[in-house]
Amino acid sequence: MQIANNTVVSFHYKLEEVGGDYREDSSDGDPVLYLHGHRGVLPGLEDAMKGKVAGDTFTVQVSPEEAYGLRNEEAMQRVPIKHLVGGKKPAVGELVMVNTETRKINATVVKVGRHTVDVDTNHPLAGKGLKFDIEVVDVREATMEEVAHRHAHGPGGHQH
């Protein structure tokens, strides 16, 4: 079966930041599972997956715009340490969660002051091109429940 809208895809990947040091590899764990056509993976990766079948392996380079987007320099904020989840003083470079009025957001600590921290709320890979080596493990029709929920359900069914 070919990957198309409303198919559930499982795959392994190796990810490299183009021209950078970041690397990630899923091969030591379970395959990634997503519902194709419902923005369950990066847009550039989803586009590259279309039409592939179980057993296919391929490499795709994804532009920053089709990955985590361009960096937004206005995403830098100064927040009181008491607004960090856990409320403890973090270290520069640490990933933290910030409590806002409506939700929690992820951020990277850029500078630590006495009572405040400067954080960057851009995704750590924003503005970066990414290269993926993909191995498609399985492709199947989505269930009606998966389509209604707009995401894939793993082995044994509903997992959220």
Segment 37-82, tens digit of pLDDT? 999 999 999 999 999 999 999 999 999 999 999 999 899 999 999 9
Which residues form the domain of 93?
73-120
Rounded CA-CA distance 17/38 in Å is 24
Q: Any idea what the CATH number is for the domain that residue 91 is in?
A: 2.40.10
Asked if 56 and 14 sit in the same domain, the reply is: yes
Angstrom distance (rounded) from CA 80 to CA 110: 14
The pLDDT of residue 145 is above 70:
yes
Residues 78 and 111 both lie in one domain = yes
Q: Are 33 and 41 in contact (CB under 8 A)?
A: no
CATH no. for residue 23? 3.10.50.40
Task: Tell whether 105 and 89 lie within a shared domain.
Answer: yes
Kindly state whether residues 20 and 61 are assigned to the same domain. Answer: yes
Identify the DSSP state of 142. Answer: P
Specify if 160 maps to a domain: no
Decide if 46 is inside a domain. Answer: yes
Same-domain check for residues 129 and 103: no
For residue range 81-96, what is the model confidence (pLDDT) as tens digits? 999 998 889 999 999 9
Instruction: Let me know whether 58 and 30 are in one domain.
Output: yes
Nearest to 1, CA basis, from 59, 43, 46, 55 = 55
Q: Are residues 103 and 136 in the same domain?
A: no
**Mean pLDDT in residue range 125-149:** 96
- 77 and 64 part of one domain: no
Phi and psi at residue 36, in whole multiples of 5°?
A: -70, 140
101 pLDDT tier (thresholds 50, 70, 90)? confident
**Is 137 found in the same domain as 61?**
yes
Neighbours of 106 (CB within 10 A): 14
Q: Residue 134 CA to chain centroid, in angstroms?
A: 15
The CA-based angle 94-67-42, given to 5 degrees, is 105
Tell me how many domains the chain contains.
Answer: 2
Give the pLDDT confidence score for residue 107 in this predicted structure: 95
User: Does residue 27 lie within any of the structural domains?
Assistant: yes
Same domain? 63 vs 48:
yes
E-assigned strand segments in the chain: 7-17, 23-25, 32-35, 57-62, 76-80, 95-99, 104-112, 116-120, 130-141
Integer Cα distance of 4 and 128 in angstroms: 27
Residue 157 lies in a domain: no
